[in-house]
Amino acid sequence: MTILPLVVASLLAAASASESPEPAVASARPAPPIVVAEASPASAEPAIDEAAPAPDTCMADVVARVQARYEGVRDLHARFEQRTRSVAFGGASEATASGEVRFAKPGRMRWSYSDPQPSLVVSDGETLWLYDPLAREAQAMPVSQGFLSGTAFQFLLGEGRILDAFHVTASGCGERLVQLDLVPKEPATYERLELHVDAALGDVRRTAIDDLFGNRTEVDFTSMETNTDPPETAFVFEAPEGVRLEVLEPQTGASP
């Protein structure tokens, strides 16, 4: 199957794994950082950027701007470029993919991959479908509360409050793009999330997510459109005739 968001792969692993699952990776079938100041001589005073706001103030301001921006958005459509680093068998591999994505309140999404091979990830907020048209296979599974598919938009377009759900720090204050590092307060299917935010507008331009297996997915968004009112059918998958559909259920005791 074409490269899918790595947290989707983690969820699939959780649904089918034993008590000691192997690290999850996307199939190859056709388809927080801590900010550390640079060391200075003991007698020197640390350099301070007078123009940059204090980190806590910067974080609060940017979070508020992001929250306000997406509270006014019903749905979002964008082109995306995705880079993944998956860790398996003691090594690391990198891959890229691209396509277009739609998100809509509450928590619905549709990832349409066009490169390197076509594939589809769809969710109505309750069920997640993954479709490989070349293999004529599809999988369905329930969406868990801690689910995130390599980006934060379905959280932002749901009912989530960033500061309620995450421990947040900011870096790059005073720059056009500010990085917010988010660590979930409750157990989740991922370890850490990054938002790269246009500080003036509150738009999220890039997301990065580290999952529980050490995999990392980065996604850049371009050509964003909001409030285009896509049809309900855009977030439901109907398996074409001849496609094998496998329904996966999370197992009790499986890792998230």
Report if residue 36 sits inside a domain. no
Parallel/antiparallel/unpaired status of strands 244-247 and 137-142: parallel
Count up the domains in the chain and report the number: 1
Over residues 179-191, mean pLDDT:
90
Report if residue 249 sits inside a domain. no
Written as one string, the DSSP assignment of 96-141 is EEEEEEEEETTTEEEEEEEESS-EEEEE-SSEEEEEETTTTEEEEE
Lowest mean pLDDT among 15-24, 83-92, 181-190, 206-215: 15-24
Report if residue 129 sits inside a domain. yes
pLDDT tens digits, 21-77 = 333 333 333 332 222 222 333 334 334 344 555 668 999 999 999 999 988 899 999
Supply the pLDDT for residue 160: 75
Is the CA virtual torsion 252, 250, 189, 63 positive or negative? negative
Supply the pLDDT for residue 242: 94
Range of the domain at 78: 6-30+53-241
- Output the average pLDDT for the chain: 77
The CATH code of the domain that includes 219 is 2.50.20.10
Q: Return d(Cα 230, Cα 243) in angstroms, integer.
A: 25
* Cβ contact 167:183 at 8 Å: yes
Supply the pLDDT for residue 154: 63
How is residue 107 written in tokens?
């928590």
13 vs 67 pLDDT, higher one = 67
Q: Secondary structure of the chain: what % helix, strand, coil (to 5)?
A: 15, 40, 45
209 vs 3 pLDDT, higher one = 209
pLDDT(146) > 70: no
Over residues 160-168, mean pLDDT:
89
Report if residue 156 sits inside a domain. yes
Supply the pLDDT for residue 106: 84
pLDDT(164) > 80: yes
Q: Return d(Cα 130, Cα 176) in angstroms, integer.
A: 36
Report if residue 39 sits inside a domain. no
45 vs 163 pLDDT, higher one = 163
How is residue 256 written in tokens?
């998230």
Q: Return d(Cα 94, Cα 111) in angstroms, integer.
A: 20
Q: Which of 23, 11, 14, 252 is nearest to 143 (CA)?
A: 11
Q: How confident is the model at residue 159 (pLDDT cuts 50, 70, 90)?
A: low
Supply the pLDDT for residue 8: 45
* Cβ contact 163:62 at 8 Å: no
Q: Which of 135, 134, 112, 137 is nearest to 123 (CA)?
A: 112
Report if residue 251 sits inside a domain. no
30 vs 188 pLDDT, higher one = 188
* Cβ contact 111:101 at 8 Å: yes
Report if residue 12 sits inside a domain. yes
pLDDT tens digits, 201-241 = 999 999 999 988 889 999 999 999 999 999 999 999 999 99
Among all chains, which residue has been given the structure tokens 């792969």?
9
pLDDT(141) > 70: yes
Report if residue 205 sits inside a domain. yes
Q: Return d(Cα 200, Cα 81) in angstroms, integer.
A: 23
pTM of the predicted model as reported, rounded to 2 decimal places: 0.73
